[in-house]
Amino acid sequence: MFVLVVYDVPADRTDLYKKMLRKRLEHVQNSVFYGDVTPGLLVEIKTDIEEMLQPDDSVLVFEAERLGSVEISTYGDSSEPGSRFT
C-alpha cells in the first residue's frame, strides 16, 4: 500500500512528527513523507498521529493500493523519490 503523509504543525512540534515518520517512511521534503507500507504499519502510523495530534496540528494521509498507481514527477533541486533506498 502506498502512503503519502503531509503535515502542517507549529514549529515546536515538527521534530515530533519528523522523528516518528522517518522510522517508517521516506522523508522527501520538510513535512512530506511517503512509502510502501503494509496495512498493519499504516494503522500504526495513523494511531501514532492521532495520539500526537494537538488542536493546531494538520496532518493529511493519502493512500493508494500500490505505488504503481501514483505518478511522481520531480522538479527543481530535489532527489528522485525513492533514491534514498537505491
- With 70 as the cut, is the pLDDT of residue 1 above it? yes
Higher pLDDT, 74 or 82: 74
Q: What is the pTM of this model?
A: 0.84
- CA-CA distance, 28 to 78, in Å (whole number)? 8
For the stretch 27-40, pLDDT in tens is 999 999 999 999 99
- What is the reported pLDDT for 81? 57
Distances (CA, A) of 67 to 36, 43, 85: 7, 18, 15
Domains and CATH numbers, the chain: 2-68 (3.30.70.240)
Q: What's the chain's average pLDDT?
A: 88
- What is the reported pLDDT for 80? 59
